[in-house]
């Protein structure tokens, strides 16, 4: 049975198949741009375009076999063969050897840009194929997802950093937010893109799909790191009466380094007070490493503070130079349930209010990190802003709906300038030097023009 998937020609919205019939007569080139019009955060951290370009657009992506398959596909889909632009796709084979004749410019990945600015532009380089620019909108617009995750992850990093600077050690930041989101993602691909976007800002993850994306598409040998950790199945399989034995086994099996043990299977407070604080206290304190206690239920601010209070009393604590309590270095806490941007701040505020340093706690996040968002979280949009028409040259294109002025789009061929710390989207014609445009060419006629490494991206995204 022939499969439908894997054909670039069908990786678009149905209605775009008909758009080649809809542009003005004499249309030669279409120029479009991608931006965040606003949203939850005032800036966005751009990430994920190189993945899309390498995976879907680079090299020979149009073949005669794919054209024939698409022709049959759309005849069935629309009930007629009249809408499919067979001649246009044939030209991509006959003239361009199967590669896409488009030019894409974009901000460097990892760069953080204020909303309302162009992040990417695209235009066709063959004047016989003006429809191709926006045919690729569907696929290219999906950069909204890794960009939104990278943005939110960076904003969460800023919250944690603020509390570390006030109450503890800012150098701990790389491992303060751990990705628990693989199982909660909508697919392996979304898990990989989201996890890689998070790893732009942090080093800790249990989402191996992101490690793969960073390696395969950004050349990073090992982008994320993890530690041995228990889950409820491995603890509850011992039975309630053997809870202590389950915990003792974790200390025996992992005698050195970090080890995380979920401790709320029955009574988190009893586990901290009696099991960790009395029955296994000697083993915890003699161990060459750190036990990370994980509560996993209840109201996070309340539970985390109470766990810290118990552990501080039964295991021991000191007061750091900033005047905040710090657990004995043999024990720490990770909160991995219910953590999103808002809850993260609530937990850290509760710690500070109770006199605890943020050094004591790390966080894990799954759905709150990778799934609580959509394209409208940052109001991403891909719009045509200029068209070249034979005999008229370049003409502005713009939407300006009377029912929603916020959706008024930009017009003209666009560039992005930076003056000091200020970014400004301008018409390309005002540039004194083409090199002043932060939107640099990243893809032309089937070829990736610059390989951005994960290390470079992390450096740009750093606080």
Cβ neighbours of residue 223 under 8 Å, at least 6 residues apart?
A: 196, 199, 203, 205, 210, 211, 214, 215, 454
Is 442 part of any domain?
yes
Assess whether pLDDT exceeds 70 at residue 263: yes
Is 3 part of any domain?
no
Is 29 part of any domain?
yes
**The token pair that represents 265 in the structure block:** 């299977």
According to the model, what pLDDT value does residue 3 have? 64
Q: What is the mean pLDDT of residues 47-69?
A: 98
Same-domain pairing of 100 and 42: yes
Q: Among 342, 370, 398, identify where a domain stops.
A: 370
Tell me the sheet residues that pair with 418: 423
Q: Among 348, 370, 392, identify where a domain stops.
A: 370
Number of domains in the chain: 2
Same-domain pairing of 34 and 91: yes
Helix axes 341-353, 144-167, angle to 10 degrees: 0
Structural domain range at position 318: 151-370
317-359 pLDDT per residue, tens: 999 999 999 999 999 999 999 999 999 999 999 999 999 999 9
Same-domain pairing of 143 and 155: no
CATH label of the domain that carries residue 384: 3.20.140.10
Same-domain pairing of 142 and 179: no
**The token pair that represents 232 in the structure block:** 């409820």
Q: What is the mean pLDDT of residues 174-203?
A: 98
Mean pLDDT, all residues of the chain: 97
Cα–Cα distances (Å) from 421 to 228, 356, 463, in that order, read 43, 35, 14
According to the model, what pLDDT value does residue 406 have? 87
Q: What is the mean pLDDT of residues 247-276?
A: 98
DSSP per-residue string spanning 238-263: T-GGGHHHHHHHHHHH--EEEEEEE-
Same-domain pairing of 363 and 411: no
**The token pair that represents 186 in the structure block:** 């909508």
pTM for the full predicted model: 0.97
CB 180 within 8 A of CB 413: no
Assess whether pLDDT exceeds 90 at residue 309: yes
CB 364 within 8 A of CB 175: no
Q: What is the mean pLDDT of residues 177-190?
A: 98
According to the model, what pLDDT value does residue 110 have? 98
Going by pLDDT thresholds of 50, 70 and 90, the confidence category of residue 274 is very high
Is 31 part of any domain?
yes
13-53 pLDDT per residue, tens: 999 999 999 999 999 999 999 999 999 999 999 999 999 99
Percent of the chain with pLDDT over 70: 99
Same-domain pairing of 235 and 339: yes
Is 266 part of any domain?
yes
According to the model, what pLDDT value does residue 10 have? 97
Q: What is the mean pLDDT of residues 227-240?
A: 98
Percent of the chain with pLDDT over 90: 95
Is 183 part of any domain?
yes
The distance of Cα 309 from the centroid of its chain, to the nearest Å, equals 35
CA nearest to 10, candidates 139, 126, 134: 139
Task: Name the pairing type of β-strands 288-294 and 331-335.
Answer: parallel
Q: What is the 3-state secondary structure (H, E, C) of 272-339?
A: HHHHHHHHCHHHHHHCEEEEEEECCCCCHHHHHHHHHHHHHHHCCEEECCCCCEEECCCEEEEECCCC
Is 217 part of any domain?
yes
395 C-beta neighbours (distance < 10 Å), count: 13
Q: Where are the beta strands (DSSP E) in 7-126?
A: 27-36, 43-45, 102-106, 112-114, 118-124
CB 203 within 8 A of CB 175: yes
Same-domain pairing of 31 and 164: no
Same-domain pairing of 217 and 365: yes
Task: Name the pairing type of β-strands 112-114 and 440-444.
Answer: unpaired
3-class SS of residue 146: helix
CB 185 within 8 A of CB 370: yes
CATH label of the domain that carries residue 362: 3.20.20.70
**For residues 342 and 361, what is the distance between their CA atoms, to the nearest angstrom?**
16
Tell me the sheet residues that pair with 36: 380
Q: Among 370, 405, 426, identify where a domain stops.
A: 370
Same-domain pairing of 201 and 131: no
Q: What is the mean pLDDT of residues 173-197?
A: 98
130-170 pLDDT per residue, tens: 999 999 999 999 999 999 999 999 999 999 999 999 999 99
Cβ neighbours of residue 376 under 8 Å, at least 6 residues apart?
A: 39
Assess whether pLDDT exceeds 70 at residue 101: yes
Going by pLDDT thresholds of 50, 70 and 90, the confidence category of residue 435 is confident
According to the model, what pLDDT value does residue 2 have? 58
Q: What is the mean pLDDT of residues 48-69?
A: 98
DSSP per-residue string spanning 95-144: TTTTS--EEEEEPPTT-EEETTSEEEEEEESSTT-TTHHHHTHHHHGGGH
Same-domain pairing of 172 and 184: yes
Same-domain pairing of 309 and 446: no
Q: What 8-state DSSP symbol labels residue 6? A: T
Phi, psi of 284, rounded to the nearest 5 degrees: -60, -45
Cα–Cα distances (Å) from 79 to 85, 86, 162, in that order, read 15, 16, 59
According to the model, what pLDDT value does residue 1 have? 44
**For residues 77 and 15, what is the distance between their CA atoms, to the nearest angstrom?**
11
Assess whether pLDDT exceeds 50 at residue 370: yes
Assess whether pLDDT exceeds 90 at residue 434: no
Report the run of H or E that residue 89 belongs to, with start and end.
helix 86-94
Same-domain pairing of 273 and 332: yes
């Amino acid at each position: 049975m022939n499969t439908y998937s894997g054909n670039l020609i069908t990786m678009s919205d149905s209605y775009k198949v008909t758009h080649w019939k809809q542009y003005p007569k004499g249309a030669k080139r279409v120029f479009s741009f991608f931006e965040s019009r606003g949203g939850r955060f005032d800036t966005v951290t751009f990430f994920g375009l190189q993945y899309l370009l390498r995976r879907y657009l680079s090299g020979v992506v149009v073949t005669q076999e794919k054209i024939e398959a698409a022709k049959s596909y759309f005849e069935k889909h629309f009930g007629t063969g009249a809408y499919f632009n067979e001649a246009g796709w044939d030209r991509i084979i006959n003239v361009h050897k199967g590669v896409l004749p488009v030019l894409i410019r974009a901000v460097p990945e990892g760069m953080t840009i204020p909303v309302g600015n162009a992040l990417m532009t695209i235009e066709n380089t063959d004047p016989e194929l003006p429809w191709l620019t926006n045919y690729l909108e569907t696929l290219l617009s999906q950069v909204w997802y890794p960009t939104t995750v990278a943005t939110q992850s960076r904003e969460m990093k800023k919250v944690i950093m603020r509390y570390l600077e006030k109450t503890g050690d800012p150098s701990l930041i790389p491992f303060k937010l751990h990705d628990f989101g693989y199982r909660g993602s909508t697919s392996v691909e979304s898990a990989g893109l989201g996890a890689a976007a998070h790893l732009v800002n942090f080093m800790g993850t249990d989402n191996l799909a992101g490690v793969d994306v960073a390696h395969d598409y950004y050349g990073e040998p090992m982008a994320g790191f993890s530690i041995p950790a228990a889950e409820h199945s491995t603890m509850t399989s011992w039975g309630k009466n053997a809870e202590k034995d389950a915990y003792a086994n974790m200390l025996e099996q992992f005698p050195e380094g970090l080890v995380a043990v979920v401790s709320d299977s029955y009574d988190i407070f009893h586990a901290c007070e009696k099991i960790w604080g009395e029955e296994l206290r000697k083993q915890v304190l003699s161990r060459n490493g750190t036990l990370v206690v994980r509560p996993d239920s209840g109201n996070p601010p309340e539970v985390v503070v109470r766990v810290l209070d118990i552990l501080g009393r039964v295991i021991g604590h000191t007061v750091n130079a900033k005047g905040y309590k710090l657990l004995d270095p043999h024990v720490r806490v990770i909160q991995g349930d219910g953590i999103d941007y808002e809850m993260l701040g609530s937990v850290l505020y509760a710690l500070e209010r109770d006199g605890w340093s943020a050094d004591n706690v790390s966080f894990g996040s799954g759905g709150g990190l990778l799934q609580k968002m959509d394209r409208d979280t940052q109001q991403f949009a891909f719009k045509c802003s200029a068209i070249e028409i034979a005999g008229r040259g370049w003409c502005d294109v713009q939407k300006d709906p009377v029912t929603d002025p916020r959706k008024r789009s930009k017009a003209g061929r666009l560039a992005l300038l930076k003056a000091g710390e200020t970014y400004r989207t301008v018409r390309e014609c005002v540039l004194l030097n083409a090199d002043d445009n932060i939107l640099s060419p990243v893809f032309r006629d089937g070829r990736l023009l610059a390989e951005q490494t994960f290390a470079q991206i992390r450096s740009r995204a750093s606080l």
